[in-house]
Chain A
Amino acid sequence: MNNPLALVGRATLSLFGLAGRLTVFAGNCLQHIVRPPIYFGLIGRQMIAIGYFSLPVVGLTAVFTGMVLALQIYIGSSRFNAESAVATIVVIGITRELGPVLSGLMVAGRVSAAMAAELGTMRVTEQIDALTTLSTNPFKYLMAPRLIAATLTMPLLVFVADIIGVMGGYLVGTAKLGFNYGSYLKSTVDYLEPMDVISGLVKAAVFGFLLALMGCYHGYYSKGGAQGVGAATTNAVVSASVLILAANYLITELFFTS
């Protein structure tokens, strides 16, 4: 029973089982995303829940990140007299990495958890079974609108986060570090390339899909009452966060290495 080989074997089988289930689940979701009917009303409602109601937390995260980034870069760059690079590094750091990743993690904490809790409660109270008996496919009615909404909304959120983050850096740069208002903005715009922003928005769309997928997957397969729903919520946030960080590396590689 405590044979280490058996433990490794069980863990491996369990990992492959999970990967298989998740792949089938994602395949089912994608199939229902592209195949009509598409519930535009439900997508709109989810976009408001995911996007509009996440704005405060994403905005606050972005502004403080921009402020801290400006301070840290100033301290670091002053060691080799490169203080003038602060504005450029802040904007590149925010648009390429910190905007999408931190927004993704914050939205994962808010949205993946909410999705897992809602769908998990629907599962344990037989509401998902009821949906099926009413000739409605849960993947079409519950999963597809959430996945579409999250994938479309995250780039918008990240775009707003980029602007707020850069403004945070600007505030610290001009009010505390003594940069000239005009030259800070000029440095910000002059060295920013379209690909910096586009790569961040592509990341945001992928993160949106992943965080909704994790919320839906863990909620859909939750079992065992309140404890099961609690576990599903935790697992959704943890797995979404890990996947976002892993996907971030892969997309960065794809965009910025030859």
Chain B
Amino acid sequence: MTTAKLKLEGVAKHFGHKKVLDGIDLEVGRGESVVVIGGSGTGKSVMLKCVLGLIHPDRGQILVDGENVVGLRGSAKEEYLSKFGMLFQGSALFDSLRVWENVAFGLIQGRGMKRKAAKDIAIEKLGRVGLKADVGELSPSELSGGMQKRVALARAIATEPEIIFFDEPTTGLDPIMADVINDLIVECVKDLGASTLTITHDMASARKIADRLAMIYKGHIIWCGHKDQIDNSGNAYVDQFIHGRADGPITMDVLKP
């Protein structure tokens, strides 16, 4: 039996009285792309942040290559994080650095690579996401939203990580640019052979990126299966979500006149 690349077992997290994650169980295999769908505020981002050690889960285990990583600190945590790449929802580019320095950041600071060598790799990765070398000299604030997402993708793959997280990769982009980003994600991930975990509520993106889909609702994974099975999941919550219907078991707390 092969060990899952990433496995969450009973991960729970609450903030005050609000339970955000209530025992999440999820597995990502080697080289597999898993997409977690779910509405806003269902705990998708908190789940990713728990894996990355940005938030400490209240209970549960997070296993990477079979080793529990909850509570790692210091150099052990830095070493563990070197396996990860992450594309943030708002790109999270460092606006005090130029574009190529953003892409090369993990190589220079994380791996101790010389700036010249790191710059060459950064320019190559920018080319990989369809951006020319001269873009590397610009500041992030001079780029459009779509270009910033591409730079963030180049930064996420620059260190050739084993696991990549995509947090709402197409949010805020027009449909064509969203599809371009989806294609780039699929290509880059295929090239690297990395395992990926994506969270989104964009169904077009989810269908394109995923090998397997899971749905999170009220802090639980309520359905998980191959992407071809999603239209016949037999789960009323999944059906309502993927068809974007207001009526169904998922209710929104909206005040009506």
Q: Which of A118, A126, A134 is the most central at the interface, judged by chain B CB atoms within 10 Å of its CB? A: A134
Given contacts A133-B52, A135-B106, contact A126 B88 (CB under 8 A): yes
User: B92 contacts A126, CB within 8 Å?
Assistant: yes
Contact indicator A130/B92 (Cβ below 8 Å): yes
Interface string of B48-67 (1 = CB under 8 A from A): 01001110000000000000
B109→A141 contact, CB < 8 A? yes
Q: Let me know if B110 and A134 touch, CB within 8 A.
A: yes
- State A41–B85 Cα separation when bound (angstroms): 26
B105 in the interface (beta carbon within 8 A): yes
Q: How far is the CA of A133 from the CA of B86 in the complex (A)?
A: 7
Interface of A is mostly: helix
User: Per a CB cutoff under 8 Å, which of B78, B90, B109, B155 touches A126?
Assistant: B90
Question: How many whole Å from B146's CB to the nearest CB in chain A?
Answer: 18
Known contacts A129-B49, A129-B54; decide if A135 and B92 are in contact (CB<8 Å). no
A residues within 8 A CB of B109?
Answer: 134-136, 141
User: Would B89 and A126 count as touching, CB distance under 8 A?
Assistant: yes
Q: Are B54 and A132 in contact (CB under 8 A)?
A: yes
Q: Which residues of B contact A141 (CB under 8 A)?
A: 109
Of B88, B96, B105, B110, the contact of A129 (CB 8 Å cutoff): B88
Render B129-165 as a binary contact track against A, CB cut-off 8 A, 1 for contact. Answer: 0000000000000000000000000010001000000
Interface contact B53-A132, CB-CB below 8 Å: yes
Interface size on B, residues (CB 8 A): 26
Residues of A92-140 contacting chain B, CB below 8 A: 118, 122, 125-127, 129-137
B92 near A127: Cβ-Cβ < 8 Å: yes
Given that A126-B88, A126-B92, A129-B88 are known contacts, is A136 also in contact with B49, CB under 8 Å in the complex?
no
CB-based contact A127/B49 at 8 Å = no
Taken together as a complex, chains A and B put the C-alpha atoms of A137 and B76 apart, in Å, by 12
- A135 to B159 alpha-carbon distance, docked (Å): 11
Q: In whole angstroms, what is the CA distance A133 to B163 when docked?
A: 12
CB-CB under 8 A for A135 and B82, given A125-B92, A127-B94, A129-B49: yes
B81 interface residue per 8 A CB criterion: yes
Write out the residue numbers on chain A whose beta carbons fall within 8 Å of the beta carbon of B88.
126, 129-130
Interface hits, A158-189 → B, CB 8 Å: none
Q: How far, in angstroms, from A137 to B79 measured CA to CA in the complex?
A: 12
CB <8 Å contact, B90 and A133: no
A130–B81 contact, CB under 8 A? no
Q: Which of A59-85 contact B (CB under 8 A)?
A: none
Complex CA gap A126/B110 in Å reads 18
Give A117 Cβ to nearest chain B Cβ, in Å. 13
Name the one of A118, A127, A135 contacting B81, with C-beta atoms under 8 angstroms.
A135
B84 at interface, CB cutoff 8 A: yes
Task: Tell me if B90 and A125 are in contact (CB < 8 A).
Answer: yes
Q: How far is the CA of A61 from the CA of B49 in the complex (A)?
A: 47
Question: Which one of A126, A129, A130, A141 has the highest number of Cβ atoms from chain B below 10 Å of its Cβ?
Answer: A130
Kindly state the separation between the CA atoms of A131 and B93 in the bound complex, as whole angstroms. 10
Smallest Cβ distance from B77 to chain A, in angstroms?
A: 9
**Minimum distance in angstroms from B46 CB to a CB of chain A:** 12
A130 engages B82 (CB within 8 Å): no
A32 to chain B, nearest CB (A): 11
Q: Whose C-beta in chain A lies nearest to the C-beta of B52?
A: A133
Query: Roughly how many angstroms separate A131 CA and B110 CA in the complex, as a whole number?
Result: 10
Q: Which residue of B lies closest to A129 (CB)?
A: B54
Kindly state the separation between the CA atoms of A135 and B79 in the bound complex, as whole angstroms.
Answer: 7
Q: Which residues of B contact A134 (CB under 8 A)?
A: 81, 105-106, 109-110, 155, 159
Minimum CB–CB distance for A14 against chain B, Å = 15
**A126-B88, A126-B89, A141-B109 given; A132·B81 CB < 8 A:** yes
- Decide: A133 near B81, CB < 8 A? Known: A127-B94, A141-B109: yes
Residues in chain B near residue A122, CB distance under 8 A: 94
Task: Contacts A129-B54, A130-B86 given; indicate if A135 touches B94 (C-beta within 8 A).
Answer: no
CA A194 to CA B89, docked complex, whole Å: 57
Binding site for A on B (CB under 8 A): 49, 52-54, 78-79, 81-82, 84-86, 88-90, 92-96, 105-106, 109-111, 155, 159
Q: List the 3 closest pairs (A to B, CB-CB), nearest first.
A: A135-B110, A130-B92, A126-B92
Chosen A-B contacts, 19 in total, with CB atoms closer than 8 Å, are A118-B96, A125-B90, A126-B90, A127-B92, A127-B94, A127-B95, A129-B92, A130-B93, A132-B81, A133-B54, A134-B105, A134-B110, A135-B106, A135-B111, A136-B105, A136-B109, A136-B110, A137-B78, A141-B109
Which residues of A come within 8 Å of B, CB atoms?
118, 122, 125-127, 129-137, 141
Known: A133-B85, A134-B81, A135-B79. 13 other contacts (CB 8 A): A125-B92, A126-B88, A127-B95, A129-B88, A130-B94, A132-B52, A132-B53, A132-B81, A133-B52, A135-B82, A135-B109, A135-B111, A136-B106
